[in-house]
Copies of this chain bind each other. A is one copy, B any other.
Amino acid sequence: MSTLESRIRRKSLLKKVVPVEDTIQYFKNGMNLGWSGFTPAGYPKAIPIALADHVEKNNLQGKLRFNLFIGASVGAETENRWAQLDMIDRRWPYQTGKDIAKGINEGRIRMGDRHLSLFAQDLGYGFYTKDETGKGKIDIAIIEVSAVTEDCGLVLTSSCGVVGEILAIADKIILEVNTGQPSFEGMHDIVMSQDPPHRQPYLISKASDRIGTTYVPCDPDRIIAVVESKHRDKGRAFAEQDDTSEAIAANILDFFAHEVKAGRLPKNLLPLQSGVGSIANAVVGGLAKGPFYNLSVYTEVLQDTMLDLFDSGRLDFASSCSLSLSETPGFPRFFDNMDKYKDKIVLRPLSIANAPEPIRRLGCIAMNTPIEFDIYAHANSTLVGGTRMINGIGGSGDFLRNAYLSIMHTPSARPTKTDPTGITCVVPKAPHIDHTEHDLDVLVTEQGLADLRGLAPKDRAQEIINKCAHPDYKPILQEYFDLAKKTCLAKGIGHEPQLFDRCFKMQMNLAAKGTMKVDNWDI
């Protein structure tokens, strides 16, 4: 591993290098902080951990609270620990962790949940920090870097996130130079966004196109401190594929084969986006054993099985906002073979990775996991039971709204404590809606795949019940749908039938009896 000196090629910065403890003084209660990082990759670790230690040691819980603006979630040892120590007031736009979710759902942490591509630009526009006189500011930016160039260009690490937007409105900047892992120099493709009316096209016509620089330009005068870090990203490893996820992957692969045969997809498909979580990871794992070659990926997170897809010889190139590998075995495997992967991956800023512009132009195939979807193809990605936040919408909307094919995949049912299929992920009406019926093309469970393109709502409902619902719930859903249809059509209000006095009966039943299997649809 190289030394701090060799990483900091802007030599005047060397005199700003301080021990991590010396940075604590800069942080005041109520400040707006912007961090590098995206879905546990490339986030600052040394300073957030030191700040947490400081709060813990000095009993400052609840007295040093911050507004945190970060591209997406970061490692549990930072944001989740901060939540434990009551160090977060506002958190935008995505998070992961038991304690931070607890703080949000108990009303102590104010979380804002926005499409990631909009978050990136709105942050730069100052919409989250605005005051009467303008854009307001990020008080302190903490950015993890691999290196700093002679011109003070920041060479980022395992993600790009919203570093450009943060720097645009940051008052003070602190760098964490990570010498504990190889440098990622050369993997990033950075374009700084301008505000309208001065914005320019992103001239990306395939996943591998490069349109920018390998570093983020940075004003050296605003850098107040530089810290060395040896911490590694702490991404979680996923469970092995199980029968359910394998069946989902198989259904998707069959569908692709069918579309290729009908001439609606090229033989090497179209650039793939695959979301976060274990099902998404398994679907990519399925592709690594599938019949498609010369694939490309245009996505926001690369999870562990993406390495399998490369190693299988099927994947030519991947564009992403972050390398969201697991701490182990993901990252060690990547670093051990960095030469092999490096030229086949480009990391882009969130504002470009998730921009509708390239996603539509390239014609991505988007695949994401919802919490549940309903019979008319509205999906809930964020709020379990309609009110409890899990992680956030992330980039699922950016991709699903703009893809050539918008696919959502989920197990058809999930267990509760008392019933192995106590939760159906196909419901009459989603209790919270993040993706609308206007956006989704294909819904998949281990039971089957519903191709909804060209279907009107009632035809869509029948197809979803037939193909996606778990056998335990098929008759229950069919009964609801038939009753709703009959009631609403008789009144001439039946384009999309619902019964508002009982559309959430399954959810109420779950809360009361631990299963969504309602005895009947009476009220």
Q: Does A105 contact B493, Cβ atoms closer than 8 Å?
A: yes
Q: How many residues of A contact B (CB 8 A)?
A: 95
Q: With an 8 A cutoff between CB atoms, is A494 at the interface?
A: yes
Interface string of A414-454 (1 = CB under 8 A from B): 00000000000000000111111111010000000000011
A113-127 near B? 1/0 per residue, CB < 8 Å = 111001001100111
Q: Are A453 and B128 in contact (CB under 8 A)?
A: yes
B-side contacts of A202, CB under 8 Å = 201
B355, B432, B456, B500: the one contacting A496 at CB < 8 Å is B432
Q: How far is the CB of A497 from chain B (nearest CB, A)?
A: 6
Encode A248-287 as 1/0 by CB contact (under 8 A) with B: 0000000000000011101000110000000000000000
Chain B hits for A231, CB < 8 A: none
Confirm or deny: A362 has a beta carbon within 8 angstroms of a beta carbon on chain B. yes
Nearest CB in chain B: distance from A209 CB, A: 11
Q: Is A292 an interface residue (CB 8 A)?
A: no
| Stretch from A338-346, A385-393, A472-480 forming part of the interface with B | A385-393
- Least Cβ–Cβ distance between A383 and chain B, in angstroms: 6
Tell me if A106 and B492 are in contact (CB < 8 A).
Answer: yes
Known: A130-B264, A134-B263. A456 touches B205 (CB 8 A): no
Q: Is A378 an interface residue (CB 8 A)?
A: yes
A24 at the interface (CB under 8 A from B): no
Residues of A near any B CB (own CB < 8 A): 90, 92, 102, 104-107, 110-115, 118, 121-122, 125-130, 132-135, 195-197, 199-203, 205-206, 262-264, 266, 270-271, 355-357, 360-363, 378, 383-389, 393, 397, 401-402, 404, 431-439, 441, 453-459, 485, 488-489, 492-498, 500-501, 503-504, 507-508
Pull 9 A–B residue pairs with CB atoms less than 8 Å apart, ordered by A. A104-B495, A121-B360, A125-B404, A134-B262, A196-B404, A197-B270, A201-B201, A387-B497, A388-B494
